[in-house]
């Protein structure tokens, strides 16, 4: 098949700067939105997917499987589980059994001031650091039991909506009128823990006036989930439920599904609006070139070659918009963390996300040019040559 | 703007380029759909958080707590609160949600003493289906807000599970209050036994004052009363409470306002683009019209009317579809057991339509002025 030279498509782009501008802008808009939506959803999914370890099992109150914060179980569950379930992983002689309290509490920067917001606290013992290996202390040290100390995650400031230096190591946070010194900062990249504040279990028990705990997290070694399940079923008096940590966060991800759907629907609707505007422009652009198409056909170029040329033209404009849109996303969105519902997560702006955005822009260029190009080629050559 | 006899001319222009008209109307429809949906969310936030002079409800919550899982107040605070001057009534409420996190399909249980419901919360709600007596008789009975019932497809006589609680639907209630539309009211003791396995602890007290001007004084007195108690309290007006607890969500919804403005710009661009393209195609036609004696101002008005028709039809389709979606899905944002309804009424539809008309006029103005100012000779030469 005899194709039109690529330069022909490139030169045609410059014929109407206004139309080129509209096409590039439409593609740019779609790419920015598609990339933002994908980065949001992937960032949220990643933070939930990486929060769970496949070998970890959570013991929590029966009926509270949807939310650890709602659960309350006896403090003795940890020792019962350790004694009854053989094959729990150990680290330096200590069993990986972590009793924890998860609670959202108000935090103030000064003694008598209004809370700046609520942060997610996790009351832990030393076992938590081996049960959740994603957590690494990057500054300072772990809080001492009995002292009013805590450590903060990298995104805790985002969660609280304050500057990071206000909760730097050495600063003080007030909880329930009690001062707590920040003695360390931890990183648990791309997990929900990254936006949490960790505090000794006994301190949070005192703060919340609770005797029990929210859950016990176990790391299995030789033991299997069935062993934990058997323990739960044999100790009916403890009113427990067992759920693998991965499954728990999958459920949480499903809980956010309507929010994610809403983000997608908004992006798709705006994309569709952009596509319709683009189609309108392309129809007008190609319709004014009916005579040119007739001439090309009479010169011996087959219809398919002309469609390919129109496609190249449209894809070039869309690609230009896609590249600019991706650059804007990289400049504006990279490194941004979103404060959302008892946590915070970073937008995921990696190669697949950028690739998705560019693909969306190119699809727009492709879909937006085919119907007008085909319509333009409908006329017989003789009529096309007579067209105004 | 133009006389009736010229309307067929405008309609003919709109129908002549069916594809262009359809694409434009669809584009405007999508933009207006989003705009109305966003405005519905903003309206929900305003309804749930903006205080009015008639507000008389205070919420007593555990100090420095925002989540119903961590606010635990002793039920014995009730007589002390009731004894405060200016308090008309007070009701202890235990709140249980399937998840404290924010989403669109959260079930909130509110446990209220069965004997106090009718005289407190019951005064602001209307039991539409089922009955209050049926609710009182059965320990696991629930009165469902109409939004929750519609969203979950529940009717009187059904049983449903949520947040680890199985309840029987004794009735469906309607209310103007945002917080009553998305909840299941159950007996306080039932909820306490289901969740705490013991009685005596509640999440909050809802206090009615006898005079709106006493809100601040009563809230200060309640907090002072329990300042050194085992569980100190923070008392705020119900709407201020929602504004503080759901701050993140409100911030996020507030941010969508910009998206709404973006939608209006998109409508302007879509209609403007279609009209510019349409005018470019018809330069010769305008020259003929001018030769036939049509004044240039009339040509301009014909173009503006065409833009208005496109904007109005698109606006009607988009705003109507948004209203229908919102009414059918009955969605509401929930966070920490509090609801921010997504609600749209005829007023929002009218606003959407008016904006579409206005944007149509605006989008058609520039091409209309250009076409009207172009001399006949230039028009003929432009072909």
Model confidence pLDDT, tens digit, residues A331-368: 988 888 877 766 788 888 889 999 999 998 898 888 88
A131/A264 same-domain check: no
Collapsing DSSP states into helix, strand and coil, what is residue A125?
A: coil
Residue holding tokens 């769970």?
Answer: A52
Q: Which of A118, A269, A276 sits opposite B34 (nearest CB)?
A: A269
State mean pLDDT over A85-111. Answer: 90
Enumerate the residues of chain A whose CB falls inside 8 A of the CB of residue B198: none
- Identify the pLDDT of residue A341: 67
Confidence band for B383, pLDDT divided at 50, 70 and 90: low
Cβ contact (<8 Å) for B98 and A66? yes
Instruction: Find the residue in B nearest to A70 (Cα).
Output: B69
Task: Find the DSSP H helices in chain B.
Answer: 7-16, 18-49, 77-82, 132-137, 146-152, 188-195, 215-225, 238-245, 247-281, 283-291, 296-329, 346-373, 376-381
Confidence band for B167, pLDDT divided at 50, 70 and 90: very high
Range with lowest mean pLDDT among A191-200, A377-386, B102-111: A377-386
Enumerate the residues of chain A whose CB falls inside 8 A of the CB of residue B104: 258-259, 262
A117/A36 same-domain check: no
| Spans of all domains in chain B | 4-48+248-381, 64-231
Domain containing residue A212: 74-238
- Identify the pLDDT of residue B336: 76
Residue holding tokens 């990057």?
Answer: A138
A290/A262 same-domain check: yes
Strand-pair category, B87-97 with B165-175: unpaired
A200/A327 same-domain check: no
Query: How close does chain B come to A207, measured CA to CA in Å?
Result: 10
Query: How close does chain B come to A339, measured CA to CA in Å?
Result: 7
A166/A292 same-domain check: no
Q: Which of B67, B164, B266 sits opposite A69 (nearest CB)?
A: B67
Confidence band for A143, pLDDT divided at 50, 70 and 90: very high
* A384's tokens: 């096309």
Tell me what the pLDDT averaged over chain A comes to.
87
Query: How close does chain B come to A130, measured CA to CA in Å?
Result: 27
Q: Which of B33, B231, B270 sits opposite A269 (nearest CB)?
A: B33
- Identify the pLDDT of residue A93: 85
Residues in chain A: 388
Tens digit of each residue's pLDDT (9 = 90 or more) over A246-301 = 999 888 888 888 888 888 888 888 788 878 877 877 777 777 788 888 888 888 88
Number of independent structural domains in chain A: 2
Query: How close does chain B come to A227, measured CA to CA in Å?
Result: 24
Enumerate the residues of chain A whose CB falls inside 8 A of the CB of residue B30: 269-270, 272-273, 276
Name the percent of chain A lying above pLDDT 70.
Answer: 99
Q: Final residue of a domain: which of A212, A238, A264?
A: A238
Residue A150 has pLDDT above 90, yes or no: yes
Residue B175 has pLDDT above 70, yes or no: yes
Q: Which residue has the higher pLDDT, B178 or B32?
A: B32
Residue B59 has pLDDT above 80, yes or no: yes
Query: How close does chain A come to B363, measured CA to CA in Å?
Result: 14
Q: Which of A258, A280, A341 sits opposite B277 (nearest CB)?
A: A280
A166/A87 same-domain check: yes
Residue A57 lies in a domain: no
A41/A80 same-domain check: no
Cβ contact (<8 Å) for B69 and A104? yes
With 0.80 as the threshold, say if the pTM is over it: no
Q: How big is the A-B interface in CB pairs under 8 Å?
A: 139
Tell me how far CA of residue A356 lies from CA of A241, A292, A359, B88, B370, in angstroms.
Answer: 40, 35, 5, 59, 41
Confidence band for B382, pLDDT divided at 50, 70 and 90: low
Q: Which residue has the higher pLDDT, B119 or A340?
A: B119
* B336's tokens: 């920490």
Cβ contact (<8 Å) for A283 and B99? no
State mean pLDDT over A138-153. Answer: 93
Provide CB contacts within 8 A for B83, sequence distance 6+.
Answer: none
Collapsing DSSP states into helix, strand and coil, what is residue A66?
A: coil
- Identify the pLDDT of residue A372: 82
Enumerate the residues of chain B whose CB falls inside 8 A of the CB of residue A277: 23, 27, 266, 269-270, 273
Task: Find the DSSP H helices in chain A.
Answer: 6-13, 17-49, 77-84, 128-131, 156-160, 201-208, 225-234, 245-255, 257-287, 290-298, 303-333, 351-376, 381-386
Tell me what the pLDDT averaged over chain B comes to.
85
Cβ contact (<8 Å) for B23 and A22? no
Q: Which of B30, B65, B331 sits opposite A105 (nearest CB)?
A: B65
A38/A89 same-domain check: no
Complex ipTM: 0.74
A106/A219 same-domain check: yes
Confidence band for A135, pLDDT divided at 50, 70 and 90: very high
A99/A35 same-domain check: no
- Identify the pLDDT of residue B203: 92
Enumerate the residues of chain A whose CB falls inside 8 A of the CB of residue B70: 69, 103-105, 208
Cβ contact (<8 Å) for A283 and B23? yes
A15/A154 same-domain check: no
- Identify the pLDDT of residue A371: 83
- Identify the pLDDT of residue A388: 59
Residue B141 has pLDDT above 70, yes or no: yes
């Amino acid at each position: 098949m005899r194709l039109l030279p690529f330069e022909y498509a490139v030169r045609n782009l410059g014929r109407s700067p206004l139309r080129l501008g509209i096409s590039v802008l439409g593609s740019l808009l779609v790419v920015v939105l598609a990339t933002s939506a994908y980065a949001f959803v992937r960032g949220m999914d990643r933070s939930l997917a990486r929060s769970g370890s496949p070998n970890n099992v959570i013991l929590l109150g029966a009926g509270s499987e949807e939310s650890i914060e709602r659960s309350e179980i006896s403090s003795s569950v940890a020792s019962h589980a350790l004694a009854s379930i053989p094959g729990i992983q150990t680290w330096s002689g200590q069993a990986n059994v972590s009793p924890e309290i998860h609670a959202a509490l108000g935090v103030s920067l000064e003694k008598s001031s209004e809370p700046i917001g609520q942060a997610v606290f996790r009351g832990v013992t030393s076992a938590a650091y081996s049960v959740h290996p994603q957590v690494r202390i990057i500054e300072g040290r772990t809080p001492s039991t009995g002292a009013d100390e805590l450590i903060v995650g990298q995104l805790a400031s985002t969660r609280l909506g304050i500057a990071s230096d206000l909760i730097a190591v050495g600063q003080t946070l007030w909880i329930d009128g009690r001062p707590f010194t920040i003695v360390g900062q931890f990183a648990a990249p791309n997990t929900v823990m990254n936006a949490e504040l960790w505090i000794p279990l006994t301190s949070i028990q005192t703060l919340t006036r609770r005797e029990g705990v929210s859950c016990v997290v176990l790391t299995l070694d030789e033991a299997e989930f069935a062993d934990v399940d058997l323990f739960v079923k044999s100790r009916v008096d403890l009113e427990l439920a067992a759920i693998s940590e991965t499954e728990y966060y999958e459920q949480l991800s499903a809980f956010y599904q309507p929010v994610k759907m809403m983000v997608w629907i908004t992006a798709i609707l705006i994309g569709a609006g952009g596509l319709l505007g683009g189609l309108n422009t392309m129809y007008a652009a190609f319709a004014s070139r009916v005579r040119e198409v007739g001439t090309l056909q009479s010169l011996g170029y087959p219809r398919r070659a002309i469609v390919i040329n129109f496609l190249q033209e449209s894809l070039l404009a869309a690609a230009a918009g896609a590249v600019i849109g991706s650059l804007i996303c990289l400049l504006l969105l990279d490194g941004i963390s979103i404060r959302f519902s008892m946590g915070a997560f970073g937008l995921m702006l990696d190669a697949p996300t950028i690739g998705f955005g560019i693909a969306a822009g190119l699809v727009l260029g492709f879909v937006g040019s085919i119907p007008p190009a085909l319509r333009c080629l409908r006329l017989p050559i003789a009529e096309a040559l007579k067209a105004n | 703007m133009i006389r009736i006899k010229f309307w067929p001319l405008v309609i003919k222009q709109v129908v002549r380029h069916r594809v262009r008209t359809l694409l434009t109307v669809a584009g405007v429809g999508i933009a207006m759909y989003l705009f109305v949906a966003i405005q519905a969310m903003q309206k929900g936030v305003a309804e749930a958080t903006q205080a009015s002079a008639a507000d008389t409800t205070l919420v007593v919550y555990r100090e420095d707590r925002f989540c119903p899982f961590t606010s635990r107040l002793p039920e014995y605070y009730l007589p002390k609160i009731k004894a405060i001057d200016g308090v008309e009534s007070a009701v202890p409420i235990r709140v249980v949600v399937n998840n404290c996190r924010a989403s669109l399909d959260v079930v909130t249980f509110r446990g209220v003493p069965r004997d106090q419901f009718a005289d407190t919360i019951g005064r602001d709600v209307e039991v539409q289906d089922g009955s209050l007596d049926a609710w009182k008789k059965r320990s696991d009975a629930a009165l469902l807000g109409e939004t929750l019932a519609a969203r979950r497809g529940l009717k009187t006589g059904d049983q449903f599970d949520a947040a680890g609680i199985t309840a029987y639907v004794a009735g469906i209630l309607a209310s103007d209050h945002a917080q009553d539309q998305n909840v299941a009211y159950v007996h306080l003791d039932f909820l306490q036994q289901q969740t705490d396995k013991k009685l005596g602890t509640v999440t909050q007290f809802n206090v009615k004052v006898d005079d709106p001007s006493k809100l601040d004084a009563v809230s200060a007195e309640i907090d002072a009363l329990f300042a050194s108690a085992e569980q100190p309290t923070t008392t705020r007006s119900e709407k201020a409470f929602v504004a503080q607890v759901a701050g993140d969500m409100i911030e996020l919804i507030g941010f969508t306002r910009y998206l709404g403005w973006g939608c209006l710009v998109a409508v302007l661009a879509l209609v403007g683009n279609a009209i510019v393209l349409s005018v470019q195609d018809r330069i010769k036609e305008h020259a003929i019209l001018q030769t036939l004696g049509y004044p240039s101002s009339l040509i301009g008005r014909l173009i503006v009317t065409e833009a208005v028709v496109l904007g109005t039809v698109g606006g009607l389709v988009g705003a109507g579809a948004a209203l229908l979606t919102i009414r059918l899905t009955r969605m509401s944002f929930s966070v920490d057991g509090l609801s921010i309804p997504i609600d749209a009424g005829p007023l929002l539809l009218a606003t959407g339509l008016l904006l579409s008309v206005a944007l149509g006029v605006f989008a058609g103005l520039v091409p209309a002025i250009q076409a009207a100012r172009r001399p006949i000779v230039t028009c003929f030469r432009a072909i």
